[in-house]
Chain A
Amino acid sequence: MNGKEKITENTSTHEHISSYAEHFGTWVALILLTLMTVFISTFGADLRTLTVATALLIATVKALAVALYFMHLKYDAKIYRAWMIIVMALFVFFLFMVTLDYITR
């Protein structure tokens, strides 16, 4: 990029600067969730068929924390959240259609 003319130069991507405390808080939550999911599965509160569902639910909460706080989705332009939702929805739909085939066979 030669950057000679800088009429629409856009250096900063967003105004918000996340604080160290916020990142640390997110990390604490993530670690607690990790220990919780390991605890549930190993020392098993016997949830039977719900074990996998619980593990995935906790994983999703963790993923949301990473996306919203570490990846700044919460503070970023709306379009990124919208795109993320569309991409996830697309994946869920792929999954739905393929599973439909397998469970009705």
Chain B
Amino acid sequence: MSETVVQQPSFFQVKKGLFSWIFTLDHKRIGILYLYSIGFFFLVAAGLGILMRLELLNPGRDFIEAQTYNQVFTLHGVIMIFLFIIPSVPAVFGNFFLPIMLGTDDVAFPRLNLFSWWLYILGALFALSTLVFGDGPADTGWTFYAPYSVKTGTNVTTSVLAAFILGFSSILTGLNFIVTIHRLRTPGMGFNQMPLFAWALYATSWIQLLATPVIGITLLMIVAERVFGIGLFDPSIGGDPILYQHLFWIYSHPAVYIMALPAMGIVSEIIPTFAQRTIFGYKAIAYSSMAIAFVGYFVWGHHMFTSGMSGPAAIVFSIMTFFVAIPTAVKVFNWVATLYKGSIDIQVPLLFALAFIFNFLIGGLTGLVLGALAADVHVHDTYFVVGHFHYVMFGGAGFAFFGALHYWFPKMWGRMYNKKVANTAFALLFIGFNTTYFPMLILGLKGMPRRYYDYLPEFHDLNMLSTFGSWILVTGIIVMVINLFAGGIKGKKASANPWNGITLEWQTASPPPLHNFDKMPELPAGGPYNYPNAKNASH
């Protein structure tokens, strides 16, 4: 850029060529590698989602056979969960921004970081190879429930191995971040001076580290059962399928916090920046991340209320589920309180953050309905569940991902997207999203079961509405993606700090130089969000 005289070349410029990317040790380039790979799989899985909505436009068979439909929703789930939403924020924005926000030049283990990305690609290849070989992709649902998963002829083994490899990649990313946070913070930055995004990643990393191995071993047991007949879960040769569900959810429930916590971290960055005001209750937000991570380990049984689990166990799990809502609500109150009397500048990233709060509230509260024992028996395995987790995962984590993309876009590419188009894309996404998924909540309450390619005629109207919504939603995605690409190629040059943020990433050039900083970064006095000109600073 022109305002500074001596300018280091940006990390884009230092080296060129394919190999300088796929073998890079630079955390920023690895973040961008992840962005492209994750973005690609998001679009693939979103396409599969559209396909399902299309099939559900009318009752009866429209154009997909029942078996194909089972495979489509399994593939949609596996890709969205393991290839998109779990790695999404940590692998893309965590990699790119965690070191910069901590004031260092890379993660603790740069080689391991690159290795994680390669594992991700290997896992992705495994997942995609199920399309080509044998009897096609798994038809078990992304949960791979035994005993069906050990009996079906479809490519469960390969899908499961894909999930195993992707889990390993996720563990290594988490490990890297924990060590980075412990060892590489800039001098003077204690844990309580870290940006909240770093706190969120810290909590997330611990879940990645301590929960993922449990599913790793469970998936290996499925493979051993399919390949060697080690019948640990099939009741006809020994095992207990409910134990599989326990092991599966010991990981997969904390995994939803792997998806949600970094998203909350992003919202905690965006809101103070666009309110130009100190975050309300810094410690409450930081520690509630840890609390969610901790309590989140103890609630997995609420996925199994109808499985035949014992009554007393179900009651304990139900109570714990209500506990986990407390730290989540603490965050929401703090965000709203931060906006109060702030100098609010309504820009696209803030809109996404507000949409996150709105959608996540609906997702979270419907989650409590599902966590309540009696209510769950009524809505278990209905579209209510589908609606609920799409509100949390897509409306929550997905919107935060888009928000982060718009928030940090000028920092990553040094250019600005067209804000008007971005606003339009946001409106389409928000309207499309709610039109698609809100009807599902009603359909579920009315009793429409999930995972069928067909439904009773009385559900027709709401299903049509939902499918129309999915068209608006996909239009929003297309407009957003095109706008971002256009912005990256020929957008206006962005300054180093277009949003007037004060966390460390705004102190360096856009895009940052290879080593992130040309001089020692300066910590803002009085905490990471202490805006000097804020009208009603402090709390």
Query: Do they bind each other?
Result: yes
Interface: B460 (CB within 8 A): no
CB <8 Å contact, B316 and A100: yes
Q: Is A101 an interface residue (CB 8 A)?
A: yes
B446 near A: Cβ within 8 Å?
Answer: no
Residues from chain A with a CB closer than 8 A to the CB of B214 are: 94
Contact A94 B313 (CB under 8 A): no
Q: With A87-B210, A90-B210, A90-B297 as known contacts, state yes or no: A104 contacts B312, CB within 8 Å.
A: yes
Q: Select one of B210, B297, B298, B313 contacting A101, CB under 8 A.
A: B313
How many residue pairs link A and B with beta carbons under 8 A? The number is 34
Shortest C-beta distance, A12 to chain B (Å), equals 15
Residue B311 at the chain A interface, CB threshold 8 Å = yes
Residue in B closest to A87 when the chains form the complex, CB atoms: B210
How many whole Å from B109's CB to the nearest CB in chain A? 10
Q: Determine how close the nearest CB of chain A comes to the CB of B24; give it in whole angstroms.
A: 14
CB within 8 Å of A: which B320-334 residues: none
Q: Are A100 and B250 in contact (CB under 8 A)?
A: no
Determine the main DSSP class of A at the interface with B.
helix
Residue of A at shortest CB range from B297? A90
Q: Are A104 and B210 in contact (CB under 8 A)?
A: no
Chain B interface size, as a band, is 10 to 19
B316: chain A residues at CB < 8 Å are: 97, 100
B309 at the interface (CB under 8 A from A): yes
**Bound Cα distance from A102 to B301, whole angstroms:** 13
Whether A101 pairs with B250 at a CB distance below 8 angstroms is no
Chain B residue with Cβ nearest A86: B210
* Proximity string of chain A (62-105) to chain B, C-beta cutoff 8 Å, 1 when within and 0 when not: 00000000000000000000000001001001100110111011
* A94 surroundings in chain B (CB, below 8 A): 214, 250, 297
Q: How far does the alpha carbon of A71 sit from the alpha carbon of B3 in the complex, in Å?
A: 54
Q: SS class of chain B's interface: helix, strand, loop or mixed?
A: helix
Question: Is residue B391 contacting chain A, with contact meaning CB distance below 8 A?
Answer: no
B-side contacts of A98, CB under 8 Å: 243, 246
Taken together as a complex, chains A and B put the C-alpha atoms of A7 and B319 apart, in Å, by 51
Q: In the assembly, what is the distance between CA of A53 and CA of B311, in Å?
A: 28
Q: Is B317 an interface residue (CB 8 A)?
A: yes
* 0 or 1 for each of B245-289: is its CB under 8 Å from A? (1 = yes): 010001000000000000000000000000000000000000000
Instruction: Please name all residues of chain A whose beta carbon is closer than 8 Å to the beta carbon of B298 when the two chains form the complex.
Output: 93, 97
> What is the CB-to-nearest-CB distance from B394 to chain A, in angstroms, rounded to a whole number?
29
Residue B310, interface by CB 8 Å: yes
Residue in chain B with minimal CB distance to A99: B313
Name the residue of chain A whose CB is nearest to the CB of B313: A101
Residue of A nearest to B314 (CB): A101
A94, A97, A104: residue with the most chain B Cβ atoms closer than 10 Å: A97
A98 vs B210: C-alpha distance when bound (angstroms)? 17
- Selected contact of A100 from candidates B210, B243, B300, B310, CB within 8 Å: B310
Shortest Cβ distance from A86 into chain B, in angstroms? 9
C-alpha spacing A7/B312, complex, angstroms: 57
CB distance from A51 to the nearest CB of B (A): 24
Query: A22 to nearest B CB, angstroms?
Result: 28
CA distance A93 to B310 in the complex (A): 17
Top 7 nearest A-B pairs by Cβ distance?
A101-B313, A104-B310, A105-B310, A104-B312, A100-B313, A101-B310, A101-B309
Using A100-B310, A102-B310 as known contacts, list a sample of 7 further A-B pairs with CB atoms less than 8 Å apart, ordered by residue number in A.
A87-B210, A94-B214, A97-B300, A98-B243, A104-B311, A105-B308, A105-B310
Q: Footprint of B on A, CB under 8 Å?
A: 87, 90, 93-94, 97-98, 100-102, 104-105
Q: Can you sample 18 A-B contacts with CB below 8 Å?
A: A93-B297, A93-B298, A94-B250, A97-B298, A97-B300, A97-B313, A97-B317, A98-B243, A100-B312, A100-B313, A100-B316, A101-B309, A101-B313, A104-B310, A104-B311, A105-B308, A105-B309, A105-B310
